[in-house]
Structure 1
Amino acid sequence: MSMVVNKSYVKRHTMSFVVAHWVNAISFFVLFITGLPLFSPSFHFLYEIFGDANFQIIHRVFAVIFIVNPIIGIFLARKGYWIMMTEPLKFGKRDMDFLAKFPLDLLGMNPKVEKQTYYNGGEKLNIALQIIFWGVLVVSGAILWFGAGVIDNSIRTWFIPIHACAAALGMAMALGHIYLAVGVNPDSVHGMVDGTIKAKYAEHHHGKWIEDCIESGEVSEEEMEEAVKNY
């Protein structure tokens, strides 16, 4: 079956991967918001509005979702997760070229860079950092949640700023990711709606991946050329 969809789109993600992406995003934002009163009195008004016990329960429920979601995703969206976890390990010259010109891309100037793979250099860096932040959040959160009476409080309290910093950095990366997706490359957002992206966008932003797909027989060169023209 060809990866070309509706004559002008190419299949990039499975729906199971798309769902896992949104579950992860929503759970992270809920955790960030419900965690704010824990780290600053400035946000205690949220407790007054929703109730501190309710906020803490919501935080813990979504913490479980945040942990379990990628584990389930590994089984239900194996290919997507495998690519996501292995692509950052293949960071090379073409990715360095992308990062060197990233400021221009950030401004929406679409600089000419070496053809990128399934994920470009910026996406690979974002994925690697988000995986690290996920690990730090999970470990530090578990220690804060279950560590009472098990880990000495003088040690346990150090995990409060660690947890907060990981959440803040993760949010900064998430906001940057949203800005680039919605503000700079809105065509990429379609990939997280139904798993497809415009063939022309794929050819321009992930040219090496398209070349690899043609070489492996997932799509013919003629089909891609036609799909690009149909846009």
Structure 2
Amino acid sequence: MSIYENYGGIIMMVLILVSVLVLGIHYKRKGSKGVPLDDSNNVIERFTRFERILHFIRAFTFIILTISGLVFMFIEANKPSGLIHSIIGIIFFIVSIATLVWFKSYTFKPYDKLWLRHLGGYLSKESASLPAGKYNAGQKVFFWMTILFTLILTGTGKFLMGNTVNETEPSGMLLLIHGCAAALSIISIVGHIYLSLWANKGTWRVLKSGKVSEKWVQSHHPNWEIDKVKSKAPKGHI
């Protein structure tokens, strides 16, 4: 058996714990950014009900995939977890691809360079207002990265499903690629949760009503309204 098959689960758990530790240190030193989101004066629709439902399905299936994947790694050839992993993986893939219907919102704008240059201000204690549309540059990178990882995980997973893995054959390399993509995905999601719950306090509330306040938009996504006006204006007018 390969090192990955023997120690993959342990390595994965260590990476998750290290990620949580690093983010905890970051919060202690840098704190939260921008205007926090509460339940008052939320009049601007950020997410439709359909968008929120897709988000919850994607989040739930990802959690199941993570748990079943870890069980499969710790308990060799655990058939129930392997079957669950395969079925939920298909659902996760379909839902993830469905989110591409909003790909235009995730296209990069010239002003995103400034956000990336300052890494969203997350390395500073000050809450500097950086240009961002409906989604900031970090959220756009996260979106496309998760789509890429989804394709890699689905592609490698489809081949590995039901096949015997041999580290000296292509299947061994595919298993390693699958594991690395899974690890990076989990770390990315841990970061995503941290940003929603602590680094940008109250942001998770948008998943309840789908709405945010004008003050919150001005603080976190100052270019969003401008982009909406430009998208509705006839060509040549703006």
Normalised by the shorter chain, which TM-score bucket? 0.7 to 0.9
Secondary structure (helix, strand or coil) at the match of 1:197 reads strand
Give the superposition deviation at 1:179: 0.5
Aligned in 2, Cα 1:193/1:108: closer, same or farther, shift over 3 Å?
A: farther
Q: Which moved more, 1:124-133 or 1:208-217?
A: 208-217
Extract unaligned runs of 5+ from structure 1.
75-80, 218-231
The one-letter code of the counterpart of 1:32 is T
Alpha-carbon contact 2:142-2:188 (below 8 Å) kept: yes
C-alpha distance in 1 between matches for 2:120 and 2:133: 19
Report the aligned-residue RMSD: 3.0
Alpha-carbon contact 2:61-2:92 (below 8 Å) kept: yes
The one-letter code of the counterpart of 2:101 is W
Q: Which has the higher contact order (CA 8 A, sep 6+)?
A: 2
Identify which of 184, 196, 203 aligns with 1:169: 184
Residues paired across the two proteins, number:
194
Q: Deviation string for 1:111-144 (max 9, x for gaps)? A: 232x211110111111111111111011011111
* Percent sequence identity over aligned pairs: 25
Secondary structure (helix, strand or coil) at the match of 2:196 reads helix
Higher helix share: 1
Match of 1:139 in 2: 155
Q: Does 1:89 align with 2:107?
A: yes
Q: Deviation string for 1:138-192 (max 9, x for gaps)? A: 10111111666xxxx8112211010000000001111111111110113321222
Alpha-carbon contact 2:68-2:82 (below 8 Å) kept: yes
Give the superposition deviation at 1:96: 1.9
Match of 1:64 in 2: 90
Q: Deviation string for 1:17-73 (max 9, x for gaps)? A: 11111111111121112112444xxx33xx8xxx933322221221121122235x4
Secondary structure (helix, strand or coil) at the match of 1:90 reads coil
Match of 1:159 in 2: 174
Match of 1:54 in 2: 80
Aligned in 2, Cα 1:109/1:143: closer, same or farther, shift over 3 Å?
A: farther
Q: TM-score normalized by structure 1? A: 0.72
Identify which of 172, 187, 196 aligns with 2:211: 196
Match of 1:122 in 2: 138
Give the superposition deviation at 1:91: 4.2
Alpha-carbon contact 1:31-1:63 (below 8 Å) kept: yes
